[in-house]
Amino acid sequence: MKILIIGGDGYLGWPTALYFSKQGHDVAIIDNFARRGYDLEFGFSSLTPILDLHQRVDLWKKETGKSISIHVGDVTDYPFLTQAIKSCKPDTVVHFGEQRSAPYSMIGHRHAVYTQVNNVVGTLNLLFAIKEIVPDCHLVKLGTMGEYGTPNIDIEEGFIKINHNGREDVLPFPKQPGSFYHLSKVHDSNNIFFCCKVWGIRATDLNQGVVYGVETEETIMNPGLCTRLDYDEVFGTVLNRFCVQSIIDHPLTVYGEGGQTRGFINLLDSIRCVELAVLNPAGKGEFRVFNQFTEQFNVLQLAQLVKCCGERQGMSIKINHLENPRVELETHFYNAVHTKLIDLGLEPHNLSDTIIDSIFKVMEKYKDRVDSSKIQPHVNWRKPTNVL
């Protein structure tokens, strides 16, 4: 297949591109390197040292003999986007190319507006480009479980059957997004659903949980092929943050009570879920939603798991409860359905001591690159500032 990966230089996009290339697909990447620009903006850096995209692709070809084509540009630039799609004529577009951090979107006015324009306009451009150039192409779009919020009922996969005043219908599941970032994802979902209905586009919306892990079979072939690993307060996901904090003897930063429950998924499973969606495409005019996670944990449970694993390795780990900078329920019901990808063949890698130990091992290797000043939370949902 011809597969175009938008955001192919990122944490998820890069190992996904390598995986599909290794499987024999014709892979192309679009990226504008905005993610690297956020590091420059705040003085952050990936814990793992990462080569630039052209160096990565050259190294991949040297290691495997397989080529990946690169298109450098911004999907909010419609002429660029259409030129890239005309060039590669993809069977599938995998869309990772969005600003993906809730804290980033809550810094202040500029970051909120940028997040919504970048994400919503980029996806809308892509929908128009698919309609005009490759109308039978399958769009696989990375969504988020954060679209749903934390309702006091089971979360279904995208849609829910409603009985009201004696009538019945299947409607999109109600959305309660918790940040301007999550709001942008809701807008994306609505736009995609609409375009499938009126233009006959094929689309799969992958509402993904929190991803953890850093290594795949492809990235460990050469240190220069590794993907990024974020641990800072803006882009670092909770499990990766806790693991980094453990190896530098920093207390684990649990926000509030720590009862915030979310879905989690291993990086290997995230890539496999994308593959399952690609190999089993939506029908013409079909808008599918898959809840892409494998397990549910609350924040305190994760902190305790990391603490136990670290202490077995001789670490001294404390758990600190900080005033929660976010506006969210800290104790709540949470039960989300996630069967569709299992039905397609997903065999999950559940979180275990072994997996946490492997994350520790990678982080220990690059321990001297940790900047502890980037760990404490400064972005406050209640006090937008435009600066960190």
Question: In this predicted model, what pLDDT tens digit does every residue of 332-363 receive, in sequence order?
Answer: 999 999 999 999 999 999 999 999 999 999 99
Q: Is 374 a catalytic residue?
A: no
Structure tokens at 339: 């069967």
- CATH code: domain of residue 221: 3.40.50.720
Residue 379 lies in a domain: no
Domain count, the chain: 1
**pLDDT for position 367:** 97
CB 205 within 8 A of CB 141: yes
Query: In the chain, which stretches have pLDDT less than 70?
Result: none
Residue 37 lies in a domain: yes
- Whole-model pTM? 0.98
Residue 224 lies in a domain: yes
What does the alpha-carbon distance between residue 329 and residue 299 come to, in Å, rounded to a whole number? Answer: 12
What does the alpha-carbon distance between residue 243 and residue 278 come to, in Å, rounded to a whole number? Answer: 32
Out of 11, 104, 148, 181, the active site residue is: 181
CB 111 within 8 A of CB 104: yes
Structural domain for 361, as ranges: 2-374
Residue 72 lies in a domain: yes
Residue 276 lies in a domain: yes
* Residue 213 φ/ψ region, left for φ over 0, alpha for ψ in the -120 to 50 degree band, beta for the rest: left
CB 302 within 8 A of CB 259: no
**pLDDT for position 388:** 84
Residue 92 lies in a domain: yes
CB 278 within 8 A of CB 95: no
Residue 122 lies in a domain: yes
Query: Can you give the length of the chain in residues?
Result: 388
**pLDDT for position 387:** 86
Q: Is 284 a catalytic residue?
A: no
Q: If we measure between CA atoms, which residue out of 316, 322, 299 comes closest to residue 248?
A: 316
Out of 11, 16, 185, 261, the active site residue is: 185
Residue 381 lies in a domain: no
**Residue spans of alpha helices (H) in the chain:** 13-22, 34-42, 53-64, 78-88, 102-105, 109-116, 122-133, 180-199, 238-247, 267-279, 299-312, 340-344, 353-365
Q: Is 255 a catalytic residue?
A: no
